[in-house]
Amino acid sequence: MLAEHDRAERLMAIAKAEGLYEEIHLLKEDGTLAGSVDDISPEVMVAMYRHMVFARAFDRKAIALQRQGRIGTYAPFEGQEAAQVASAMALAPEDFVFPSYRDHAATMVLGQSPANVLLYWSGRVEGIRSPEGRHILPPSVPIATHVLHAVGAAWASRHRKEAAVSIAYFGDGATSEGDFHEALNFAGVFHLPVIFFCQNNGYAISVPFSRQSASRTIAQRAIAYDIVGVRVDGNDAFAVYRAVKEARARALHGLGPTLIEAVTFRMGAHTTADDPTRYRDQKAVVEAWQKRDPIARLRLYLESQRLWSDADEAKLQEEVRARVEAAVDEALSIAPPDMEMMFDHVYAEAPWHLAAEREEYRRSREGVSV
């Protein structure tokens, strides 16, 4: 448990935090800095950029594949690359990650194979299974339910005194759900090592945040639960990275959970089944947010520091194209599933009725009358 003086210190920090209402910025839209980034190495910065460029190319390709009928409905994340990539890069392999269904840029940074992501959106359960050496849980489809799982996993880490945290990824819509509030409350009561990472991308399908809540910000919800809240520019990879790093460090030092609101924007549709022109002036909002593009500003900064060149860019684009193509080839050339796998992993051992149903299925497939 947290010592009382640490707790008092933390309360002071919350009271002082400007980050509850105003976004913290480090990397401005023109590629210049708003503060020191000495704690972020050039290697990390370049890696962030490479991941983000790949993520965007992958995302656009996935939409194209859906349009061609080669994969099913897909949830694009363009515009949110900095929030997802930088947050994931701030984690460690032993951490437990609970993504939502739009967080593939994050999960791919953590080792989820791009081909698997395409498989998931093609209707293959294998596509959400965690890569070895990482703990990435399947995306929760009903909104916010997984935020509580992160709380439970964090309890487990603390119970065993392991240096690991849990992180839940969710959107602005999730903050209206009861499970979100229950999770923050539980984590606050028990001072658990968990990070609540909210990408406020402006819309829950068609409903804007102003209709989601009368709260000015999501970060301010932290006050009610007496936990740390931080509001960052979600298109600023450096600000996101630092916010998650700091939240992780606090969690490991017994200072409890952090609610991070990364303010970003979903440039495209909710899913490929959605038409954003029905509920917003799509052209105007995209133009406005293009000025805040997370990738463009990071490239400007890297170039200004001579960490990136046109030649690097050309080489990266080539690599990205090849990697995306390889993922598409892998996903689309995989053999169709053995249909009988529907019976696997329902229970550790199938009860008699399920075993009988499996046998009935097998016989009907073989053309034997049942």
Catalytic amino acids? Answer: 266, 270, 279
Please calculate the CA angle 202-196-94 and round it to the nearest 5 degrees.
Answer: 130
Looking at the Cβ atoms of 53 and 128, the one nearer to another protein is: 128
Provide, rounded to whole angstroms, the least separation between the CB of residue 127 and another protein. Answer: 11
Looking at the Cβ atoms of 64 and 156, the one nearer to another protein is: 156
- End-to-end CA separation in angstroms for the chain: 61
DSSP calls for 162-200: -S--EEEEEETGGGGSHHHHHHHHHHHHHT--EEEEEEE
Piece of 9-17, 185-193, 236-244, 316-324 that binds another protein (CB under 8 A): 185-193
Interface residues for another protein in 85-114 (CB under 8 A)? 96
What's the CA gap between 322 and 264, in Å, rounded? 29
Site string for another protein, 213-252 (x = CB under 8 A): ----------------------------------------
Looking at the Cβ atoms of 277 and 347, the one nearer to another protein is: 347
Residue 161's region, left for phi above 0, alpha for psi from -120 to 50, else beta, is: left
Looking at the Cβ atoms of 106 and 147, the one nearer to another protein is: 147
Provide, rounded to whole angstroms, the least separation between the CB of residue 198 and another protein. Answer: 17
Q: Does 347 bind another protein (CB under 8 A)?
A: yes
Rg of the chain over all Cα atoms, to the nearest angstrom: 22
Q: Give how far Cα 151 sits from Cα of 91, 158, 174, 358, Å.
A: 16, 11, 15, 36
Q: What is the DSSP letter of 128?
A: G
- Residue 193 near residue 199 (C-beta atoms within 8 A): no
What's the CA gap between 354 and 333, in Å, rounded? 31
Provide, rounded to whole angstroms, the least separation between the CB of residue 345 and another protein. Answer: 5
Residues in contact with another protein, counted by CB under 8 A, come to a total of 42
Looking at the Cβ atoms of 159 and 306, the one nearer to another protein is: 159
Piece of 66-74, 103-111, 318-326, 340-348 that binds another protein (CB under 8 A): 340-348
Beta strands 203-204; 207-208: pairing state: antiparallel
Interface residues for another protein in 113-172 (CB under 8 A)? 125-126, 128-130, 137-138, 140, 142, 145-157, 159, 166
Looking at the Cβ atoms of 38 and 132, the one nearer to another protein is: 132
Provide, rounded to whole angstroms, the least separation between the CB of residue 278 and another protein. Answer: 28
Please calculate the CA angle 321-290-172 and round it to the nearest 5 degrees.
Answer: 95
Provide, rounded to whole angstroms, the least separation between the CB of residue 149 and another protein. Answer: 4
Provide, rounded to whole angstroms, the least separation between the CB of residue 237 and another protein. Answer: 29
Q: What is the DSSP letter of 220?
A: T
**List 11, 189, 273, 314, residue binding another protein (CB under 8 A):** 189
**List 29, 182, 246, 319, residue binding another protein (CB under 8 A):** 182
Interface residues for another protein in 190-209 (CB under 8 A)? none
Q: Is 302 helix (H, G, I), strand (E, B) or coil?
A: helix
Q: Give how far Cα 4 sits from Cα of 158, 222, 227, 256, 258, Å.
A: 18, 19, 14, 13, 18
- Residue 17 near residue 217 (C-beta atoms within 8 A): no
By CB under 8 A, name the binding residues for another protein: 96, 125-126, 128-130, 137-138, 140, 142, 145-157, 159, 166, 178-179, 182-183, 185-186, 189, 344-349, 351-354
